[in-house]
Structure 1
Amino acid sequence: MATSKLMRAIRVSEFGAPSVLKLCTDLPVPNPGEKQVLIRVHACGINPVETYIRSGSYARKPSLPYTPGSDISGVVEAVGDGVCLLQTGDRVFTTGTVTGGYAEFTLASEDTVHKLPDYLDYKQGAAIGVPYFTAYRALVQKAHAKAGETVLIHGASGGNATSGQGVNVIIEMLSNVNLSNDLQLLDFGGRVIIVGSRGPIEIYPRDTMMKETSIIGVALYNATNKETSECATALFAGMETGWLKPVIGPEYTLDKAAQAHEDIINSPGASGKMILII
């Protein structure tokens, strides 16, 4: 598909503070290559990891300049050669993009694009990607959590009430602060699943020996296509039966992306998914 259309998108030309997120208004709309899909973006989820990447502190750095964003929802505009499961006009959401989601149009590989159920709107679609797939990978594929086990979702909170009982699984968002304490909270055979960290921490390894506990790291980009497909199937089942429903938090327009990054850093306890409305 040849096109001379232009689009608006956020571009990052240097790593640094949120101010490096610049709105460009004259970028060419990309063309889909083999097994790629061009999507007209309606909404894009904003994830904490995007602030780490933008600052240059993340282990994996994109080539500059780049457009942030992996979790978008929208409508298929065009498909490249070899795409079989999607067609123009499909409502979709993504778990990854090729050209970045803070934009009016984005390219994504077919295997990262999923049909958006009719009972979810575009805002909810943009809230699925990283948060839901990471949660499933952490709880099911890595922690192997079982019915009846106690799970603690641990972020930047302080004390934890466990009623004298150990916790079976801790999903840890801020391990550089909490990990040592997490090991004290675990029950025998408990698991700490590391989802987020902003620096180093010192722990006492014997704490893992006493109750034979485990520390397991999770990175969504390591998931195989089979694992991603398994996750998507489970999430769709949950959404279809109504017990899994994305909650939307603060909303920003594309030109307010820098403000959104400021807010996600300074308000880690915000309720609901932070999204850009494109």
Structure 2
Amino acid sequence: MKGISVKKFGGPEVLTMDNNLKVPSYNDDQLLIKVSAAGVNPVDTIIRSGTFPPPPALPYTPGFDGAGVVEKVGKNVKNFKVGDRLLITSAQGSGTYAEYAVTTPLFVAHLGSKLSFEEGAGIGIPYYTAYKTLCILIRARAGETLLVHGASGAVGIASVQLAKSIGLKVIGTAGTPEGMKLVKDNGADLVFNHRDKDYVKKITDASPEGIDIILEMLANVNLDKDLDMIKTRGRIGIIGCRDQVKIEAVKIMFKEIVVTGVLIFLSTEAEWKEMHGAIEAGIKSGWLKPHIGLKYPLVQAPKAHDTVMNNPGTMGRIVLQI
């Protein structure tokens, strides 16, 4: 089969196309899936660089998210059959940047017929992270005010859509006019440009009732400002961070703020099952609609990795067409 192989850690250039990879083997508890599209996540680039602990054994094929059709089913697998359209949230032992991937039923969900495979590949980590943060860790309640920092990215768009579906008032930020429009079009009540010097004042002026929840995609830049904006006993979910964070801890103390990190890979079996149910329901009801910002053929995986980390302003999900 064809796929991407990483033989050494480094920059995007280590993502090499290989037309002679072996189709991964599957056991009685696994599914073999013919992949049509794969999602590109920032964490993929960190793993590729060798700095995400523990690093995978070399060589490896990257990719957690994807969508495709069940090709083979292990004899112990229930609820899935050959031909089912699936979304993949975590390939196990063989990544999604290839024609075939292997995983267990715990990490797949039914895609149904409403969404394309490219849209299915846009669900994975972004939507599951949004759900885990808002509904499992932070326990958002209808009527609360949510600020999504970096709302034009894949997790940001997912968070806006989910938040509106459960009755929150949503404020989003983005770094370009195009990103701001995208966030607004996906349901945000108010949108601000986080490149404006006075954007924090604009947000606080526009929300006199205060902000109950903040989802933070770049904590090393924004967390201290978030602590100024959040209500007493507010909750902050840290979804992304690229460097050390400098904050005044007394701000957390004096407001009794809850600050939690989020890592989808630490989810329990019960949490995975809850998330699958919510995501499948979201697909059926129609609130869940991934925005695919860029599509690249598989051979351009290096360009996709560079784009996901270095761009003037995120605009939804990046997918690889297998």
Change (3 A) 1:226 1:240: same
Residue 123 of structure 2 is aligned to residue 123 of structure 1 = no
Which is worse superposed, 28-37 or 232-241?
A: 232-241
Give the secondary structure class of the aligned counterpart of 2:61.
coil
Residue 313 of structure 2 is aligned to residue 269 of structure 1 = yes
Quote the residue 1:3 is aligned against. none
Cα distance in structure 2, aligned partners of 1:17 and 1:182: 32
Cα distance in structure 2, aligned partners of 1:232 and 1:84: 15
Quote the residue 2:128 is aligned against. 133
Encode CA deviations 1:17-70: one digit per residue, 9 max, x unaligned.
100101111011112112111011100011111111111232342121111111
Cα distance in structure 2, aligned partners of 1:192 and 1:28: 44
Partner of residue 36 from structure 1, selected from 26, 30, 41 = 30
Quote the residue 1:153 is aligned against. 148
Contact 2:111-2:280 within 8 A present in 1 as well? no
Task: State the 1:239 CA deviation.
Answer: 2.0
Encode CA deviations 1:171-206: one digit per residue, 9 max, x unaligned.
111111111111111011111101111111121111
Show the 5 A alignment for 1:52-91: 52-91=46-85
Contact 2:296-2:304 within 8 A present in 1 as well? yes
Task: State the 1:246 CA deviation.
Answer: 1.2
Query: Match for 1:52: what amino acid?
Result: I
Quote the residue 1:221 is aligned against. 265
Task: State the 1:269 CA deviation.
Answer: 2.5
Which is worse superposed, 48-57 or 16-25?
A: 48-57
Query: Match for 1:174: what amino acid?
Result: L
Encode CA deviations 1:110-155: one digit per residue, 9 max, x unaligned.
2112111111111111011100000000111111111111111113
Task: State the 1:268 CA deviation.
Answer: 6.3
Cα distance in structure 1, aligned partners of 2:204 and 2:283: 30
Partner of residue 235 from structure 2, selected from 187, 191, 198 = 191
Quote the residue 1:109 is aligned against. 104
Contact 2:46-2:52 within 8 A present in 1 as well? yes
Cα distance in structure 1, aligned partners of 2:256 and 2:315: 34
Partner of residue 181 from structure 1, selected from 225, 239, 251 = 225
Give the secondary structure class of the aligned counterpart of 2:67.
strand
Contact 2:109-2:280 within 8 A present in 1 as well? no
Cα distance in structure 2, aligned partners of 1:102 and 1:111: 20
Query: Match for 1:176: what amino acid?
Result: N
The TM-score with structure 2 as length reference comes to 0.81
Task: State the 1:238 CA deviation.
Answer: 2.0
Change (3 A) 1:57 1:104: same
Encode CA deviations 1:192-228: one digit per residue, 9 max, x unaligned.
1011111111211110111111110111011111111
Partner of residue 87 from structure 2, selected from 89, 93, 100 = 93
CA-atom RMSD in angstroms: 1.4
Give the secondary structure class of the aligned counterpart of 2:21.
strand
Task: State the 1:77 CA deviation.
Answer: 0.7
Which is worse superposed, 63-72 or 251-260?
A: 63-72
Partner of residue 207 from structure 1, selected from 251, 259, 273 = 251
Cα distance in structure 1, aligned partners of 2:219 and 2:51: 16
Partner of residue 51 from structure 1, selected from 20, 45, 52 = 45
What is the percentage of aligned positions where both structures have the same residue?
Answer: 43
Task: State the 1:102 CA deviation.
Answer: 0.2
Gaps of 5+ in 2: 151-174, 176-193
Give the secondary structure class of the aligned counterpart of 1:111.
helix
Which is worse superposed, 162-171 or 257-266?
A: 162-171
Q: Larger % of helix: which? A: 2
Quote the residue 1:162 is aligned against. 204
Query: Match for 1:235: what amino acid?
Result: I
Cα distance in structure 1, aligned partners of 2:52 and 2:212: 29
Query: Match for 2:204: what amino acid?
Result: T
